[in-house]
Structure 1
């Protein structure tokens, strides 16, 4: 039996019942279901969740707007589950704070596997944080793994879970070049076609937090045709 808590938000009863059944079969018993944005917000305000699965097309509010509201107070992984299949919709969902995006119709076991991967990585990350104090200081940038804090220019900047994990991975490997596939596999898990956009969007979001001019990045640098490299602003002063 697993201890992680999952919130399923979808107005299609069949999908919620199916995912609930499959997740319980995998040992997840702490599952909350919501069929509207209002129910989801009420749940988030009264309980802690380790993972949120969120439909985009809800009766009272679109899932993108709901994600923005949730992100004001919650940093756990959010997976969009939607019939919207265009690249624009996927990019919008990721830009607004989503960590993963699965389109309908979908393979139910793939969704469960992705949920499990997110939760496994979050659990491992939390355990490692308890056992290892890591504080990375690069000039005006501080990344505190133990507290989950990102400090830029002496101010704390909110940073959702996957963005923080990606940034932490960069901090551990300064000046090293990584392909999109390598970054995805280290932070999210096994990569499938289309997942490269997830990495690109998360890097774009990080740049807005770290760069003086995100359009001309100097911290997370793009090497065209190769990948990305984290270039510390100054000498590493890891504590």
Structure 2
């Protein structure tokens, strides 16, 4: 269990990270969630005992809490009520196979959602994004492929250690491409991911941004671009280490 760390209100958000309170009496399950969320830059504090968690909530000022169903140190529904209703902390309840009734009580007590336990980051992270939309970038881990690295928390891009200045829209394009490396993605997918579809299917906005992004990534002008046009379908991102193999655009 984490030791209670005293912080000044607001100090823990100086880096923009999402702060989470985890209340789970299973040390392994709780710490696995903390560890898994570390790559998403979530600062999670795990408590085994409900009373210590309540004290910890006052100290760490969490953005949200995850509470396991079936607690023995305090009724889960009562803890949810104290966190969600009285302290105003959005609370998610972790539900095991035999926790159906407890989960219902927790939702009635103010929990905003139930998730499977043991926890899966792909289920809890979208909930955190909805709670604090401003942390959407920090909740995505950096991606590094073939010497190219994109960090959504800082919007920094480097190629073989050298920084590349990339505007926000182009960064979002690049990050989407890198997350789908070596797969063809459609214009519709890109417009939805970067512009929420608002740019329109007939707009040349996407074409212009991809052209500019290609130019930024192609440091050696004799090499082919790392973003290949797949005629009639969309685009495909080829990692820099593979780009010299002769891809055609």
Q: TM-score, normalised by structure 2?
A: 0.44
Higher relative contact order (CA 8 A, sep 6+): 1
